[in-house]
A and B are shown apart, each in its own frame.
Chain A
Amino acid sequence: MKLRGWLLGRVGGALATILMVLLLNFVLFRLMPGSPDRALARNPRVSAEAIAAARVRWGLDKPLFPDQLVAYVGATLSGDFGYSVKYGGREVTSVIGEKIAPTLLIVGLGEIIALTAGIALGAWTGWRRGKFGDRVGTLSALILYSMPYFWLGMLLVTLFATTLGWLPTSGISTPGGPGGVAGIVDLLRHAALPIATIALGLIGQYAILLRSSVAEALREGYVLTARAKGLRDDRILRGHILPNALLPTVTLAALNAGYVIGGALTVEIVFSWPGLGLLTQEALQSRDYPVLQGIFLLLAISVVVANLLADLLYSRLDPRVRHGAAR
């Protein structure tokens, strides 16, 4: 009963947040300098009548409030995100939709690799805190953590694409390349460096967080009990320390999942990877409001949902939260 009330509160809060984002999304883009019709007006061969017609077609002739806002909220709620200005009037949902998969591919795989490697590195260094292996491991993690994605990406391109020539420098596939199995191999060869960039950038974050919680857990009484029980080291680490120490890392991973869309921006630009990040950049440059609004809404929803997910996950994993007990 208590749990259900808590759950309803969380979901309600998430919905309210999304609604606020919707309003902000509307206001924010109207505050930005420039507008689609003015972009059109820069072309001297477009007549004033054509511009006026475009304004009517896009609804820009009506007042911001209430007409434009009501139209925006109503349309968005019914799944209509409007039409792209840049992509010749194609529906925003289809423009965004075809970019989701490439982004999910590199960010998703990057996250999974980073989480796996970060947990292994964090547990290893935390267990050996203060020893040589910990210092080397933690320093490496810190260096990776502090490297910006674009810099890391450029380093990888220089090494593996330009110098060694093992992998392609950019894009998602070889133009006119093969199909079938060979096509998948071609895709993975293109995806390798973006995935590596995202994974390397995140490993440090997970490793450093887990290291500190493992080192902290090692001082806990239950670890002494586990040792007194005569358990082996790997059993103490996996059976007793990690179930406690992983809690913050799992939460961070769930939160990071919300940034799947936004996090890939710089990586996609470096590798010209045709995903949501690159689309965002293009839409910004061409002031493609409907596409930008769609992307921002998607981003906001995924962050809100990821937060909700992190909350639920944490309460699943930590019985103290599940039972609403204050520590």
Chain B
Amino acid sequence: MSGAANHNDARSLPAGANAAAPLLEIRDLRVSFSLEDGRRLTAVDGINLSVSPGEAIGIAGESGSGKSTAASAIMGLLPPNGRIDSGSIRYRGLDLVAEGAPLRRTRWREIAVVFQGSLVALNPVIKVRDQVAEAIELRLGEPANAAREKAKRLLADVGIPDKRLEAYPHQLSGGQRQRAMLAVALSCSPAVLIGDEPTTALDVIVQAQILELLDRMRHEYGLGLILITHDLAVIADMCDRVAIMYGGRIVESGSVREVFTNPRHPYTQALLGAAPDARAGRRTIKVLEGQPPDLASLPPGCHFAPRCPLADARCTEEDPPTVSYEDRVTLACHRYEPNGGALPAPVAAPYPVLELGKR
């Protein structure tokens, strides 16, 4: 597409950024929230993550695992009771967490986000075209006419027909709204796009269309994509790498192929085994018992230990260190020894198995 071709040619970086530094790099990020009863809830507990241009990273986990909080922290949009306790988020070497970070400069121009539920993420009383043009005009300083023209091209690019340009969000279908939201997100030609459950509210056909569009945009624009979802199938289709989160920590990460074919962490195994697989003819699911952890009173040791069939005394006493194996997989589990960094064989966790269709 014409708009995308010159996208990365003349990118001006914000002051203090270094074109040679990694696109987005998160180091040991800790985020907590203060609760009304005075306790602190640790939502993100020391995560490491990096994204390169054109790369797609999936973050998976149950609700409350901290995946959306991580996205808010990257945008600098934590709610008033949230706080980044430690760690760094660097965009091209520029620390976005530090005091006086140029968030006004980086938001949307460098890092944009597509939220879940475009019906609420778009303003109901403003035409979609104007919502796309707004950031082009106000953030890139382009004249109003040029911004509207560019908005028109962007909307066409994401598949909104010309006759819907003057439409309000409620006049569009759910899929069209999410397309429009994608056009809003791409309006300032960001280098990083975060998708926070971007297709969760859509039916499967529309979801597939949006994902295809997202994939196309990633390749056209050379976007670093962070896809946050609880849907592992979406990550399998879309992403190069995956990070599995539980209780605010990344318990396992690696290439999608490696993690999905040889899940090593007991939680990853449960997550992958929790859905029946029609294509593989599998009619059994693994049953993960218990509740996600209460982040306001986390027990010592591994956060997953209370639900883990493999847990022993050490798991409830010591935090498992995150170990990197052959630069392909990271694991935080006491069941695996560092053994010089060689990739260990998976240890199957004995979950109860439920056979579907039987009583």
Contact = CB atoms under 8 A, between A and B. Distances in A.
A227 B72 CA distance: 11
Bin the interface of chain A by size: 20 to 34
Nearest to B104: A230
Contact of B124 (A231, A232, A239, A320): A320
Interface stretch (B131-139, B210-218, B325-333): B131-139
Given A230-B135, A243-B125, A220 B120 contact: yes
B351 to A, nearest CB: 37
Interface string A208-245: 00000000000011101111111110010001100110
B353 interface: no
A222 B180 CA distance: 13
Interface stretch (B85-93, B111-119, B309-317): B111-119
B113 A318 contact: no
A327 interface: yes
Contact of A222 (B103, B107, B109, B124): B124
B109, B123, B126, B138: residue with the most chain A Cβ atoms closer than 10 Å: B123
A221 B170 contact: no
Contact of A319 (B75, B106, B113, B124): B124
B171 interface: yes
B139 A244 contact: no
Contacts of B108: 228-230
Nearest to A235: B138
B98 interface: no
Given A225-B121, A229-B139, A319-B125, A325 B134 contact: no
A317 interface: yes
Given A320-B170, A325-B170, A229 B134 contact: yes
A243, A318, A319, A327: residue with the most chain B Cβ atoms closer than 10 Å: A319
A129 B264 CA distance: 48
B184 interface: yes
A272 to B, nearest CB: 45
Main secondary structure of the interface of A (DSSP, over half): helix
A243 B126 contact: yes
A308 B34 CA distance: 48
B115 A221 contact: yes
Given A227-B77, A325-B170, A244 B124 contact: yes
Contacts of B123: 222, 225-226, 240, 243-244
Interface residues of B, number: 28
B68 to A, nearest CB: 11
B122 interface: yes
A317 B117 CA distance: 24
A221 B138 contact: no
B336 interface: no
Contacts of A225: 115, 121-123, 184
B260 interface: no
Interface string A294-327: 0000000000000000000000011110010101
Interface string B134-146: 1100110000000
Contact of A323 (B103, B122, B134, B168): B168
Contacts of A227: 77, 107
Interface string A227-265: 111111001000110011000000000000000000000
B170 A317 contact: no
Given A221-B121, A222-B122, A227-B77, A319 B107 contact: no
Contacts of A240: 123, 126
Given A230-B103, A230-B139, A222 B121 contact: yes
Nearest to B123: A222
Contacts of A318: 124-125
A228 B168 contact: no
Interface of A: 220-222, 224-232, 235, 239-240, 243-244, 317-320, 323, 325, 327
Given A230-B139, A244-B124, A319-B170, 15 more contacts: A221-B117, A222-B120, A224-B115, A224-B121, A225-B184, A228-B75, A229-B134, A229-B138, A229-B184, A231-B139, A318-B124, A320-B124, A323-B171, A325-B171, A327-B170
23 contacts: A220-B120, A221-B115, A221-B120, A222-B121, A222-B122, A222-B123, A224-B115, A225-B115, A225-B184, A227-B107, A228-B75, A228-B113, A229-B134, A229-B138, A230-B103, A230-B105, A231-B138, A239-B134, A244-B125, A318-B124, A320-B124, A323-B170, A325-B170
